[in-house]
């Protein structure tokens, strides 16, 4: 509605409203009304309303018509006009108009103003409502804030490829809700009956857990609907929820639990304005760490990796190009002690996230010396270089396989945890480790392997029908690492409370359903030194909740072991795996 038309409509409301008020008063009581006074009061109230509306930007395109903000300003202008009309009537005119006529006239004018706006908004919405023909018809799950935002964004964008046709919500209190004329049509139980009305289903609940997402996905798949999902509130990072931000459902969304969120302020307090260094920056965790860290505005982010291609990939993801011409992109191997000291002395980081490691369990069983050189000696090199420049926070990325380890991978990461703790006892900064389960979707993890097997037509190979693992997504793991730096202190290992572990065979079945595949599952047997079930803590290790409700603080100091890794270099390669295990099982060993 144009401002001039809006102003004329509002001013026009006063005289008829006061006239009707006077006639009603005459019907109720036979009195001699001062019609001239009534019209003067109406005119003065209209003038005050117009002036107040101008100064409150009611007629200067600041507010969309019939929004809460506009109606709030309208109420302020109306109050000013009503007060002026009543005062002028009492103080200036004699005889005055009945006060009831003034109040009733103002009420009538107010009703007209609100009604005219609502009617215009309804007519305008009907004119501009996108035509479903040629667009994707969207059934939106979630009639809360996320659903409201995404419905309004689709309706307001005339060029959108999508149009909302209905909402579904399992909350019975929202059963009769309507958002911009889009009604709640039922709950998840009604998805099958609504399949002919829609082309896709959008999950617009950013906080939805994996169990709920899995159930909705199963219902939508059965109905033949494509499923999209909005990112989590953390991933949205304050942006408005729109369907353009939605993405296809990923297997990580089906983990069956709510992802851990972080306290952004505490993370920002120690990252902002600091020089931050990440080792293994080109890996799955390292690259996501870099992307997350940049949100908190560090002074500089130094990205270290031994793989030039991986460094180019992470630069593309954070800078939009892969020119590799940035001094903060560092090609270096953590095994090279002198090179580590050179890198740290040049960049002088205050905060270090150590994510570089070898992580493939069966490969390290065959080549234990490689695990020793990278996971143990490489970690020692990074720790010593960090101590030399006086870092304030050092976070070592560990794994649940380090808890009661049975493999070379677990043992080398267990030694790395002890080295981190011992370094912290000799340094003023906070040196901690972060331990979590399998990172789903990371390079070389079970998910990409299953996806390649499905793409090849199967079979999917699972080691054992009862094998279980703890799972988390790459962004979630990275957030945990950042949060650990904010709340952890030397002497602790932080462990994510990841809920119940998931059967690998269930993950395989979810993937088969997700990709609508006919691939079969084949069991191959547990690999050497592989556990059937992982644990998150060592035997005798005490864990307690701290300031974050989903992060456990393990008393790592009570588990400190004395170890000189140098002695392991003298062990024959064929005996190294056994010697590593002796160190972790309290048996007699030359390394103790």
Distance (Å, whole) CA 163 – CA 315: 37
* Cβ-based burial of 32 (10 A; exposed 0-12, middle 13-18, buried ≥19): exposed
* Close Cβ partners of 550 (under 8 Å, ≥ 6 residues apart): 260, 496, 497
Picking from 163, 153, 147, the residue whose alpha carbon sits closest to that of residue 206 is: 147
Decide: 406 and 577 in contact? Cβ < 8 Å.
Answer: no
Picking from 530, 529, 510, the residue whose alpha carbon sits closest to that of residue 521 is: 510
Picking from 520, 503, 516, the residue whose alpha carbon sits closest to that of residue 227 is: 516
End-to-end CA distance of the chain: 82
Q: Which helix (H) or strand (E) holds 135?
A: none
CA angle, 473 as apex, 467 and 474 as ends, to 5°? 125
* Helix boundaries (H) for 203-307: 210-223, 233-236, 264-271, 284-294
Question: Catalytic: which of 136, 387, 401, 531?
Answer: 401
Distance (Å, whole) CA 241 – CA 146: 6
* Close Cβ partners of 237 (under 8 Å, ≥ 6 residues apart): 295
Cα-based distances in Å from 244 to 192, 229, 419 = 25, 10, 46
DSSP conformation letters of 337-403: HHHHHHHHHHH--SEEEE------HHHHHH-HHHHIIIIIIIHHHHHHHHHHHT-SEEEEE--GGGS
Decide: 434 and 424 in contact? Cβ < 8 Å.
Answer: no
Decide: 357 and 317 in contact? Cβ < 8 Å.
Answer: no
Q: How much helix, strand and coil, in percent to the nearest 5, is found in the chain?
A: 50, 15, 35
Distance (Å, whole) CA 392 – CA 111: 64
Q: Is 195 one of the catalytic residues?
A: no
- Tell me the β-bridge partners of 277: 302, 352
Cα-based distances in Å from 330 to 34, 120, 344, 478, 515 = 88, 61, 11, 21, 39
What are the φ and ψ backbone dihedral angles of 430, each rounded to 5 degrees? Answer: -95, 120
The residues annotated with a catalytic role in the active site are 401
């Amino acid at each position: 509605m144009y401002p001039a038309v809006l102003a004329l409509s509002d001013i026009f409301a006063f005289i008829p409203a006061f006239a009707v008020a006077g006639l009603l008063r005459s019907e109720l009581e036979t009195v001699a009304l001062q019609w001239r006074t009534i019209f003067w009061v109406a005119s003065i109230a209209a003038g005050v309303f117009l002036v107040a509306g101008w100064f409150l930007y009611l007629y200067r395109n600041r507010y969309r018509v019939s929004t809460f903000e506009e109606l709030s300003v309208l109420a302020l202008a109306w109050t000013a006009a009503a007060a002026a009309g009543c005062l002028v009537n009492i103080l200036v005119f004699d005889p005055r108009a009945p006060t009831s006529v003034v109040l009733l006239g103002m009420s009538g004018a107010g009703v007209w103003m609100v009604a005219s706006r609502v009617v215009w908004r309804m007519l305008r919405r009907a004119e501009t409502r996108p035509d479903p023909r040629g667009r994707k018809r969207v059934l939106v799950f979630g009639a809360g804030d996320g659903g409201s935002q995404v419905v309004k964004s689709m309706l307001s964008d005339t060029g959108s490829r999508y149009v909302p046709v209905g909402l579904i919500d399992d909350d019975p209190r929202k059963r009769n809700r309507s958002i911009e004329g889009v009604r709640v049509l039922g709950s998840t139980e009604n998805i099958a009956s609504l399949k002919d009305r829609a082309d896709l289903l959008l999950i617009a609940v950013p906080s939805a857990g994996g169990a709920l997402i899995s159930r909705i996905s199963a219902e939508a798949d059965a109905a033949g609907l494509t499923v999209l999902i909005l990112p989590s509130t953390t991933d949205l990072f304050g942006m408005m929820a729109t369907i353009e931000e939605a993405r296809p459902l990923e297997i990580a969304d089906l983990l069956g639990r709510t992802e851990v969120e972080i306290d952004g302020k505490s993370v920002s307090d120690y990252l902002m304005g600091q020089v931050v260094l990440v080792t293994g920056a080109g890996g799955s965790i390292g690259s996501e760490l870099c992307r997350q860290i940049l949100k908190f505005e560090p002074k500089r982010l130094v990205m270290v990796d031994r793989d030039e291609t991986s460094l180019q990939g992470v630069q593309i993801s954070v800078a939009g190009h892969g020119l590799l011409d940035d001094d903060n992109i560092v090609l270096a191997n953590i095994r090279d002690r002198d090179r580590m000291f050179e890198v740290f002395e040049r960049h002088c980081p205050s905060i270090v996230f150590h994510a570089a490691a070898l992580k493939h369990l069966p490969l390290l069983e065959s080549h234990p010396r490689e695990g020793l050189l990278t996971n143990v000696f490489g970690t020692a090199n990074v720790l010593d270089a960090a101590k030399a420049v006086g870092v304030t926070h050092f976070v070592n990325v560990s794994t649940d396989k380090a808890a009661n380890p049975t493999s070379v991978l677990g043992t080398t990461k267990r030694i790395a945890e002890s080295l981190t703790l011992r370094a912290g006892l000799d340094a003023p900064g906070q040196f901690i480790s972060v331990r979590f389960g399998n990172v789903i979707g990371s390079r070389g993890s079970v998910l990409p392997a299953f996806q390649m097997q499905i793409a090849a037509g199967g079979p999917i190979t699972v080691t054992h029908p009862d094998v279980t693992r703890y799972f988390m997504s790459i962004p979630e793991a990275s957030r945990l690492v950042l949060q650990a730096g904010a709340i952890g202190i030397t002497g602790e290992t932080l462990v994510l409370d990841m809920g119940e572990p998931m059967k690998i065979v269930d993950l395989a079945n979810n993937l088969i359903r997700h990709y609508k595949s006919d691939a079969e599952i084949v069991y191959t047997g547990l690999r050497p030194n592989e556990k059937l079930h992982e644990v998150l803590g060592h035997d005798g290790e005490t864990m307690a909740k701290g300031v974050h409700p989903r992060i456990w603080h393990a008393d790592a100091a009570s588990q400190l072991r004395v170890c000189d890794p140098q002695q392991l270099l003298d062990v024959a390669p064929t005996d190294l795996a056994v010697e590593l295990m002796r160190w972790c099982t309290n048996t007699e060993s030359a390394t103790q």
